[in-house]
Structure 1
Amino acid sequence: MSRETKIPVTIITGFLGAGKTTFINYLLKQNQELQFALVENEFGDVPIDTRLIKGVDASQMFELKQGCICCTITDEYELVLKELAERFPNVEHLLIETTGIADPAPVIQPFFADKMLREIYRYNGTVCLVDALNFTNHPEEEISIKQLNVADLILLNKTDGVDRINVDEIMKKLHRLAPLSVIQAACFGNAGPLNLDNIQQRILNEYTLLTYANSHNTIQTKTLTFKQAINKADFVYWLEYTLDIYKNKIYRCKGYLCFENEPFEYILQGVGGRFQLEEGELLLNAAESQVVFIGKLDNLPLEFEP
């Protein structure tokens, strides 16, 4: 299968909680004239991030369910890419969001190694989000370095929460770690004027992307599900206490919550011991809540009793 015009593919990577989904929403808003498709890969059983994407038709969002694609690259990944092009011939740009613990190299490699994918797609580059708030206290530095190593554009996100001197210091370290990348500051995923067609800085091929097998056996997920509305004050108190006590073990928490006497769903985003709750959509269905924790969770008492 080949196309007259190849579909550009942009990879969005970055560690857990760096702001990848927020940045994707920014891209979609800034490029409303383009027909996007999205391949979403989440670490965990519950697809939280797909609920947060605004601007891509639900039928053109593909979820990969067989684990983190960097270490479980299977036929599913390449079949999804081929099926996407067949089902949606009008797609003008493909975004792939990796999990926060992914090495992006194996995600990129099929676009160079697979003959059919080379005929359909054009690799457009990789954007890596970096969390300025948690940069100096990073729990998995090796993963982050792998993400930086293939990035064409690095966005130092959440700079509004860090003073200018520390931002400059982080920028200097990023330039040392990734001298071939363009690096710029961002806030709430807002990268300013960004030419989506001019991201790639590196010359890659299937051999430059060879990497060692990845294993995330020490990183687990735990999902809490509540079938009825819960008390907001009780949950917030429990979560504040839990994230403070175990902030070095819980890398990320996210979810959607339905509280008693609240007409709206709330979106939970947490990283590095901090979290925020934002008002979401009006509740139209049964009040179900789900929260996902990611990190080194062995023997942690992650149970909330409504």
Structure 2
Amino acid sequence: MTEHNKIPVTVLTGFLGSGKTTLVNHILTANHGHRIAVIENEFGEIPIDNDLVLNADEKIIEMSNGCCLCCTARTDLIEILRSLLARSDRFDRIIIETSGLADPNPVAQTFFVDDDVAASFTLDAIVTLVDAKHIRGHLAESGHEGLGSAVVDQIAFADRIVINKVDLVDALELEAVRQAMRGINATADIITSRYAQVDVADVLGIEAFDLSRPMSGDPHWLDDDGHQHDPNLSSVGIELDGTVDHEALERWLTEHLREHGGDVYRMKGLFAVERDARRFVLQGVHSVFDIRPSTPWRDENRSGKVVFIGRELDRAELTRGLRSCLVR
């Protein structure tokens, strides 16, 4: 099954009160023509979000296991995804709405580490909502520990950030929120909304994890916008002139991530591999990564670039490690 034959999954995350349920309601009632299954997760003993989601033709599946999805629900998530495949009615897309306290990393990893899930589903993107009025307060109050760490992680993992409730702030505060988002995540696209009213195409079908996407003519797929970042959270882009030894690259990545995977939130890259006419694409989350061949190189130089997004990244160490995999 090719990537484009798989069911795309969007992970929707964001801190408490950011507007995730409002966005789900907006998607379910929008005129988009897609059949969408929504998997919700509760943080707490009494499930309530299912009562807040408007009735629609789409199927709501709730995991009220008394903990956030990032803690112990990965097995539950796999079983739910399998149950969706067993249904006679099929879905065009799936949205996983995590709790406001959830770390999206284990959810994303599910689509890399479970063979059955990877065979039938593809991770489309991680979309993070933030509350324009309160997000800077959350970040300032808690720093990088406790709840503040959860907020930072949700932003750092995002492929797209939706700054919601912009009607509650003025232009200066909105720009300050943008800069705060850029200080944590240099590469995610940022859009704004009131009452989570966004174009559905801006949050579904992003294809951030599609390994063929960088070959589709998007020249900015690996760009870093050059902002100055929080010293603890950064984006490191490394150019690779020449071809790499595929086995050496996988070996180095495995060893490096075994020690530092907790600090590497996302990684993505494009390589030229020795004695292979195809481009190779890297996608990864923490210590889990995937390198696959894509379309052939054409007339451009066979070179590569890797972008790491994470906490306290050592640019010099990453550069040395990657360049050690180049074919001399």
Q: TM-score, normalised by structure 1?
A: 0.63
| Equivalent residues of 2:164, 2:195 under 8 A apart | yes
Deviation at 1:203, TM superposition (A): 5.9
Deviation at 1:19, TM superposition (A): 0.3
| Equivalent residues of 1:175, 1:183 under 8 A apart | no
1:42-191 counterparts in 2 under 5 A? Answer: 42-54=42-54, 56-57=56-57, 60-66=59-65, 67-138=67-138, 139=142, 140-191=147-198
Give the number of aligned pairs. 210
Letter in 2 for 1:209: H
| Equivalent residues of 2:74, 2:110 under 8 A apart | no
Could you tell me how far apart the structure 2 residues matched to 1:88 and 1:210 are?
Answer: 36
Could you tell me how far apart the structure 2 residues matched to 1:106 and 1:88 are?
Answer: 28
Could you tell me how far apart the structure 2 residues matched to 1:88 and 1:150 are?
Answer: 34
| Equivalent residues of 1:109, 1:206 under 8 A apart | no
Deviation at 1:2, TM superposition (A): 10
Deviation at 1:54, TM superposition (A): 2.5
Could you tell me how far apart the structure 2 residues matched to 1:50 and 1:162 are?
Answer: 30
| Equivalent residues of 2:161, 2:188 under 8 A apart | yes
| Equivalent residues of 2:130, 2:161 under 8 A apart | yes
What does residue 232 of structure 1 align with? none
| Equivalent residues of 2:74, 2:106 under 8 A apart | no
Could you tell me how far apart the structure 2 residues matched to 1:49 and 1:193 are?
Answer: 21
| Equivalent residues of 2:84, 2:90 under 8 A apart | no
| Equivalent residues of 1:151, 1:181 under 8 A apart | yes
SS at match of 2:118: helix
SS at match of 2:124: strand
* Structure 1 position 209 matched with structure 2 position 286: yes
What does residue 205 of structure 2 align with? 197
Question: Which protein has the bigger helix share?
Answer: 2
Pick closer, same or farther for the CA change 1:210–1:63 going to 2, 3 Å: farther
CA deviation digits over 1:111-161, x for unaligned, max 9?
Answer: 111111011101100110001111122152210111111111100111101
CA deviation digits over 1:226-285, x for unaligned, max 9?
Answer: xxxxxxxxxxxxxxxxxxxxxxxxxxxxxxxxxxxxxxxxxxxxxxxxxxxxxxxxxxxx
SS at match of 1:133: coil
Runs of 4+ in 1 over 4 A off after TM superposition: 1-4, 201-207
Percent identity over the alignment is: 32
What does residue 219 of structure 1 align with? none
Could you tell me how far apart the structure 1 residues matched to 2:109 and 2:63 are?
Answer: 17
CA deviation digits over 1:174-226, x for unaligned, max 9?
Answer: 11211110011111011246342125277667852349xxxxxxxxxxxxxxx
What does residue 6 of structure 2 align with? 6
Q: Which moved more, 1:160-169 or 1:80-89?
A: 80-89
Could you tell me how far apart the structure 2 residues matched to 1:209 and 1:49 are?
Answer: 29
Could you tell me how far apart the structure 2 residues matched to 1:175 and 1:72 are?
Answer: 31
CA deviation digits over 1:36-71, x for unaligned, max 9?
Answer: 10100011122221122235447x211112221101
SS at match of 1:23: helix
Letter in 2 for 1:143: A
Could you tell me how far apart the structure 2 residues matched to 1:3 and 1:185 are?
Answer: 29
Pick closer, same or farther for the CA change 1:56–1:193 going to 2, 3 Å: closer
Pick closer, same or farther for the CA change 1:82–1:203 going to 2, 3 Å: farther
SS at match of 1:191: coil
Letter in 2 for 1:118: A
Deviation at 1:107, TM superposition (A): 0.9
Could you tell me how far apart the structure 2 residues matched to 1:157 and 1:13 are?
Answer: 13
Deviation at 1:88, TM superposition (A): 4.8
Query: Structure with the greater relative contact order (CA < 8 A, sep ≥ 6): 1 or 2?
Result: 1
Pick closer, same or farther for the CA change 1:55–1:5 going to 2, 3 Å: farther
Structure 1 unmatched runs, 5+:
212-306
Pick closer, same or farther for the CA change 1:148–1:27 going to 2, 3 Å: same
What does residue 299 of structure 1 align with? none
SS at match of 1:11: strand
What does residue 36 of structure 2 align with? 36
Could you tell me how far apart the structure 1 residues matched to 2:170 and 2:161 are?
Answer: 19
Q: TM-score, normalised by structure 2?
A: 0.59
